[in-house]
Amino acid sequence: MDLPRISLGRMQNPVRGFLHGGAALIAAALGIPLLLMRASSATALIGGLVFGLALVALYVTSALYHTIPWGTVWKRRMRRLDHSMIFVLIVGTFTPVALVGLDGTVRLAALAIGWTIAVVGIVHQIMTKTPGMALSIALKATLGWLSVLVMIPLAHTLGVMPVVLLAIGGAVYTVGMVLLVTERPRLWPRVFSYHELFHVLTIVASTFHFVVAYRYLMVAS
Q: What is the pLDDT of residues 61-70, one digit of tens each?
A: 999 998 998 9
**More reliable by pLDDT, 45 or 139:** 45
Looking at residue 8, what is its pLDDT? 58
Looking at residue 131, what is its pLDDT? 74
**More reliable by pLDDT, 209 or 3:** 209
For the chain, give the mean pLDDT: 90
Q: What is the mean pLDDT of residues 53-66?
A: 96
In total, how many domains does the chain have? 1
Q: 166 near 208, Cβ under 8 Å?
A: yes
In a domain, 83, yes or no: yes
Name the 3-class secondary structure at 95.
Answer: helix
Indicate the pTM of the whole model: 0.92
Provide the 10 A C-beta neighbour count for residue 17.
20
Distances (CA, A) of 39 to 144, 185, 219: 25, 40, 6
In a domain, 81, yes or no: yes
What is the residue range of 200's domain? 14-219
Classify the phi-psi angles of 99: left when phi > 0, otherwise alpha if psi is within -120 to 50, otherwise beta: alpha
The one-letter code for the residue type at 187 is: L
In a domain, 37, yes or no: yes
Residue 10 has pLDDT above 50, yes or no: yes
pLDDT band for position 152 (50/70/90)? confident
Distance CA(98)–CA(23), nearest Å, equals: 25
In a domain, 103, yes or no: yes
In a domain, 7, yes or no: no
Looking at residue 9, what is its pLDDT? 54
In a domain, 138, yes or no: yes
Q: What is the mean pLDDT of residues 133-149?
A: 82
Closest by CA position to 176, among listed 89, 51, 47 = 89
- The pLDDT tens digits for 153-188 are 889 888 999 999 999 999 999 899 889 889 899 888
**More reliable by pLDDT, 11 or 216:** 216
Residue 26 has pLDDT above 50, yes or no: yes
Residue 138 has pLDDT above 80, yes or no: yes
Residue 123 has pLDDT above 60, yes or no: yes
> Got the DSSP string for 158-182?
H-HHHHHHHHHHHHHHHHHHHHHHH
Whole-number percent of the chain with pLDDT over 90: 64
Q: What is the mean pLDDT of residues 2-12?
A: 58
In a domain, 9, yes or no: no
Residue 6 has pLDDT above 80, yes or no: no
In a domain, 6, yes or no: no
The one-letter code for the residue type at 74 is: W
Closest by CA position to 115, among listed 137, 94, 138 = 94
pLDDT band for position 1 (50/70/90)? very low
